[in-house]
């Protein structure tokens, strides 16, 4: 098993909820990103848990958070897309 597979296996249900929401909204690059506020409303997690998960997913390079405006936005990175693809393949196997 490689390092990336280990990372994916360690994802929690809440992590997958956020990754799936970004994938469903096609937030796969900076110009398609959605605001943190909109994402938080869609996933309905507590503020503390939401922030913790975003920090973890960003550290793992599965998401990117863009700054530069009052409202920060979030989108899936290529690694995040690959994680979704591997999880989906594993579920269909």
34-87 pLDDT, tens digit each: 999 999 999 989 999 999 999 999 999 999 999 877 789 999 999 999 999 988
The per-residue pLDDT for 91 is 63
How many Å separate Cα 74 from the centre of its chain? 8
For residues 64 and 54, give the distance between their C-alpha atoms in angstroms, rounded to a whole number. 9
In a domain? residue 74: yes
pTM over 0.85: yes
Q: What are phi and psi of 76, to 5 degrees?
A: -75, 140
pLDDT number for residue 92: 62
Q: Which residues pair with 64 in a beta bridge?
A: 75
**Looking at the domain assignment, is residue 3 inside a domain?**
no
Query: SS3 of 73, please?
Result: strand
DSSP annotation of 35:
E
Domain around 45? 14-92
Domain count, the chain: 1
Rounded CA gap, 64 and 62, in Å? 7
């Amino acid at each position: 098993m490689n390092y990336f597979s280990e990372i994916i296996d360690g994802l929690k249900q809440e992590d997958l909820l956020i990754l799936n929401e970004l994938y469903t909204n096609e937030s796969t690059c900076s110009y398609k990103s959605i605001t943190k506020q909109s994402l938080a409303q869609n996933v309905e997690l507590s503020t503390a848990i939401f922030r913790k998960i975003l920090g973890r997913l960003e550290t793992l390079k599965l998401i990117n958070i863009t700054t530069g405006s009052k409202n920060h936005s979030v989108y899936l990175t290529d690694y995040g897309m690959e994680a979704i693809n591997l999880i989906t393949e594993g579920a269909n196997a």
